[in-house]
Each structure stands twice: as structure tokens, then as C-alpha cells.
């Protein structure tokens, strides 16, 4: 079993379907137009709605929530979905805030999803840092996820989470063979913090991919919010300058359409 269907719903939200499992990343289903507060002095306006409404989603077995404290990763409509999921896997601090069916995973901790008639899926939390060194007290705890199931051809499916390039994400490439990565981009920035970026820039994304060497890169979380400083055009420009064919690994998912990916 090597094929998986991925539906990019918008922002960081994607439905991953494999072996009868339905896994949803960072649910965001609010309509556009509202402005949301983040850390003190920072905010962002949602500029695009989801490609599919939450009412059209099939039952979800697990939500992979990279963090709960920012509305561009968990908004009001997304939060309403959580109780109906089989389990919500997130950061330890996020699990304490959410309660209910939320379970926290520290970096490199794992949880196995089992169900009769389905292949087991092992979910391992991976390091992520949502900003520069020492920014954690302001931005909070964040995680990525590596998904492993029997029959993967190229390696694990990795959800990077909102992160900058630092030693923690480089470690993913040393510990794991990555087949496919849902790569959070966007170069998040705010007027208050000037040139500081809180997610991967296009140039840093290329550098990370050169270190991790995934077979396929699925860009997500680069549009739909006013705090993004780089969109698809900036990423494609950086890929055009990359000397070693990294750009050939990038695959832009059509919004709202299930796309088969060989993992």
C-alpha cells in the first residue's frame, strides 16, 4: 500500500486518506473577513475561505493539530469539529488546554492508530519552532508529525507544522527517510516585528528540502491570511534558482480536490 489521497482544503488544512483512515490536519473552516489576534501586538485577517466546507467532510479518525493557540491553525469552526474526531493529537500544552479527546505528544514521542481491517498508522511528533530562538514564550509550543504505515515506498509522510529552519527540523532528515512532506510555508511576519519571520521563507524551504531530501513536497499554508509575506510566486522564484532539481519535487495541490500521492 503506497498511495494516499491528500485534499488541500486551505491554509494548513488537509485531509489525508490512506488504508481506510481519514486524518485531518489543522482544521480551519471559518469564512474569510475576520481579524484574529495572535501574540500581543500582532493580528491577521483571514482573506480566503476553505475550498470545502466542514459539512462536506467524511467522519475523521484523527486530527493532527500542530498547535491550538493560533486561529490560522485552529479557528472557531475547526474547534467545533474536534469532539467528533476519534482522537486529537497535538502538543502537550495544547492537550491540556483542549481536554476531552486531545492527547499530547512531546517531540519524538509516538502514538499508534489501530482499527480492525485497517493498517496501523504510527504518528510520531517531530520538532518545530514557530519563530526565532527564544520566541517560544510568545508564540507557544508547536509540533510536526511523521506518519508511518506498512508498504510505504519512499518513506514517511511528514507534516512540518509552522516552523523556521533550525536544528530541530534538520534532525528530521537525520532520523527519518521522508517520502512526502506537507510543508508549511508563507514567511509569516508582522509590522511590529519587522523583518523577523515566524515560518519558512522560500529560500529556507529550499535549504530544508536539500537537507531532508523528500521525494515529494506538497506546499501548504502560504495563502489565505494577511500575515503571509511570501506566496506561491515567491516559492516558485526560489525554486527556479535552486541548482539541484529540488523544484521538480514540489507539487502544488488543487484546492478542494483529492489528489493521489505515492508515499
For residue 44, give its domain range. Answer: 3-29+37-262
pTM recorded for the entire structure: 0.96
What's the 3-state SS for the chain?
CCEEEEEEEECCEEEEEECCEEEEECCCCCCCCCEEECCCCCEEEECCCCCCCHHHCCCCCEEECCCCCCCCCCCHHHHHHHHHCCEEEECHHHHHHHCCCEEECCCCCEEEECCCCCCCEEEEEECCCCCCCCCHHHHCCCCEEEEECCCCCCCEEEECCCCCCCHHHHHHHHHCCEEEEEEECCCCCCHHHCCCCCCCCHHHHHHHHHHHCCCEEEEECCCCECCCCCCHHHHHHHHHHCCCCHHHHECCCCCCCEEEEEC
Number of domains in the chain: 1
Task: Provide the CATH number for the domain around residue 139.
Answer: 3.60.15.10
Model confidence at 26, pLDDT cuts 50, 70, 90, reads very high
Task: State the Cα–Cα distance between residues 128 and 164, nearest whole angstrom.
Answer: 7
Model confidence at 2, pLDDT cuts 50, 70, 90, reads low
What is the percent of the chain with per-residue pLDDT over 90, rounded to a whole number? 92
pLDDT > 90? residue 206: yes
Model confidence at 156, pLDDT cuts 50, 70, 90, reads very high
- Written as nine digits, the cell of 43 is 493580528
pLDDT tens, 92-143?
A: 999 999 999 999 999 999 999 999 999 999 999 999 999 999 888 889 999 9
Q: What is the pLDDT of residue 39?
A: 85
Q: What mean pLDDT comes out for the span 48-62?
A: 96
Q: What is the pLDDT of residue 132?
A: 93
Q: What mean pLDDT comes out for the span 148-161?
A: 96
Q: Which residues pair with 64 in a beta bridge?
A: 25, 89
Task: State the Cα–Cα distance between residues 217 and 206, nearest whole angstrom.
Answer: 10
79 compared with 262, residue with greater pLDDT:
79
Amino acid at each position: 500500500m503506497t498511495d494516499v489521497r491528500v485534499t488541500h482544503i486551505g491554509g494548513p488544512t488537509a485531509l489525508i486518506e490512506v488504508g481506510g483512515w481519514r486524518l485531518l490536519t489543522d482544521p480551519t473552516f471559518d469564512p474569510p473577513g475576520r481579524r484574529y489576534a495572535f501574540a500581543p501586538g500582532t493580528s491577521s485577517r483571514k482573506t480566503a475561505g476553505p475550498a470545502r466546507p466542514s459539512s462536506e467532510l467524511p467522519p475523521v479518525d484523527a486530527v493532527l493539530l500542530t498547535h491550538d493557540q493560533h486561529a490560522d491553525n485552529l479557528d472557531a469552526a475547526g474547534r467545533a469539529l474536534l469532539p467528533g474526531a476519534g482522537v486529537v493529537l497535538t502538543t502537550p500544552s495544547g492537550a491540556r488546554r483542549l481536554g476531552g479527546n486531545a492527547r499530547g505528544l512531546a517531540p519524538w514521542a509516538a502514538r499508534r492508530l489501530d482499527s480492525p481491517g485497517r493498517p496501523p498508522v504510527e504518528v510520531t511528533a517531530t520538532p518545530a519552532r514557530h519563530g526565532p530562538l527564544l520566541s517560544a514564550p510568545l508564540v507557544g509550543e508547536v509540533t510536526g508529525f511523521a506518519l508511518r504505515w506498512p508498504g510505504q515506498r519512499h518513506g514517511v509522510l511528514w507534516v512540518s507544522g509552522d516552523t523556521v529552519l533550525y536544528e530541530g527540523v534538520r534532525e528530521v532528515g537525520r532520523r527519518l527517510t521522508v517520502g512526502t512532506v506537507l510543508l508549511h510555508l508563507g514567511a509569516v511576519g508582522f509590522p511590529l516585528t519587522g523583518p523577523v519571520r515566524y515560518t519558512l521563507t522560500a529560500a529556507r524551504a529550499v535549504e530544508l528540502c536539500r537537507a531532508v531530501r523528500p521525494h515529494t513536497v506538497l506546499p501548504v499554508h502560504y495563502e489565505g491570511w494577511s500575515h503571509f509575506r511570501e506566496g506561491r510566486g515567491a516559492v516558485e522564484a526560489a525554486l527556479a534558482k535552486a541548482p539541484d532539481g529540488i523544484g521538480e519535487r514540489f507539487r502544488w495541490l488543487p484546492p478542494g480536490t483529492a489528489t493521489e500521492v505515492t508515499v
